[in-house]
Amino acid sequence: MTANKGLSEMSREKQTLERALTARAWHDPDFARLLESDPRSALAAMGVEVSDNVKIDIRMQRRDTLYFVIPPLAERREDAERVLNQMDMWQSGDLFCWIMPQALKLELLRMRQGYRGGGHE
């Protein structure tokens, strides 16, 4: 391992998937377009594997746009109260947030751990 590669790996360990995605999208317009048009391929380019059964919708936030995400209709009446627990925010400031059903939280954790695990440039 070269000294430069070692430093790169160490800095990557400190960088979360969210920060890496944001930084790359801000500085690479082609990658930003790929994130929206084919997020699975964009994530794969960063070494992040996404399960085939998971659908991904990545949006580049616009300063002039208000986003509404309507949660899915509860399948059972007793689940209706839990619908408010649909959003997890990981950053504040220039807000980065994940919005997902409870059942996909483990998939997100696996993706984040996979990014930190390395094996890509």
- Mean pLDDT across 37-49: 94
Q: Give the model confidence (pLDDT) of 62-74 as tens digits.
A: 877 777 777 777 6
Contact predicate 33/96, CB 8 Å: no
The pTM (predicted TM-score) of the whole model is 0.64
Question: Domain of 10?
Answer: 3-55+64-117
For residue 53, what are the β-bridge partners?
Answer: none
Query: Which whole-number Å values give the CA distances from 7 to 3, 80, 111, in the listed order?
Result: 6, 48, 23
Element (H, E) at 99: strand 97-99
Which pLDDT score, from 0 to 100, does residue 104 have?
80
Helix, strand or coil, per DSSP, at residue 89: strand
If one counts the domains in the chain, the total is: 1
Tokens of 20: 């890496």
